[in-house]
């Protein structure tokens, strides 16, 4: 299956059994988070190298409520700690990944 065209299309896939195996790891990680499996998402993000993996990792720890750990990962990603909602950040990251 090709990549979704936008965030709304991505969110429509969340009722499936799993993300498409051809998707990049970042999108798979966010799919698992959106489908309610934080641990599967974290496992993927933790294995990712670079700023995008750190950003997803930060978001996950922010969702978890661990502000200190999230702050560490936002710093590694080169991003400020967000002031907007978790849902807005989720959509922001998905949109970013779909544009890559």
Q: What is the pLDDT of residue 29?
A: 98
Q: Say if 2 falls within a structural domain.
A: no
Q: Say if 88 falls within a structural domain.
A: yes
Q: What is the pLDDT of residue 74?
A: 98
Per-residue confidence band for 100, with pLDDT thresholds at 50, 70 and 90: confident
Q: What is the pLDDT of residue 67?
A: 97
Q: Say if 1 falls within a structural domain.
A: no
38 pLDDT higher than 80:
yes
Q: Say if 19 falls within a structural domain.
A: yes
Region label for 74, one of left (φ > 0), alpha (ψ between -120 and 50) or beta (otherwise):
alpha
Q: Is 32 helix (H, G, I), strand (E, B) or coil?
A: helix
The total number of structural domains that make up the chain: 1
User: Can you give the pTM of this predicted structure?
Assistant: 0.94
Q: Say if 15 falls within a structural domain.
A: yes
The fraction of the chain above a pLDDT of 70, given in percent, is 99
Q: b/e string for 35-45 if b means 16 or more Cβ within 10 A?
A: beeeebbbebb
**Can you give the residue range of the structural domain that contains 75?**
7-99
Q: Say if 13 falls within a structural domain.
A: yes
What does pLDDT average to over the chain?
96
């Amino acid at each position: 299956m090709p990549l979704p065209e936008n965030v709304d299309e991505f969110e429509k896939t969340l009722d499936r059994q799993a993300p498409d195996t051809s998707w990049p790891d970042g999108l798979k990680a966010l799919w698992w988070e959106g489908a309610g499996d934080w641990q599967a998402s974290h496992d993927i993000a933790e294995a990712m190298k670079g700023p995008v993996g750190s950003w997803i990792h930060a978001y996950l720890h922010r969702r978890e409520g661990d502000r200190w750990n999230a702050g560490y990962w936002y710093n590694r990603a080169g991003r400020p700690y967000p002031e907007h909602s978790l849902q807005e950040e989720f959509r922001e990251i998905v949109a970013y990944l779909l544009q890559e």
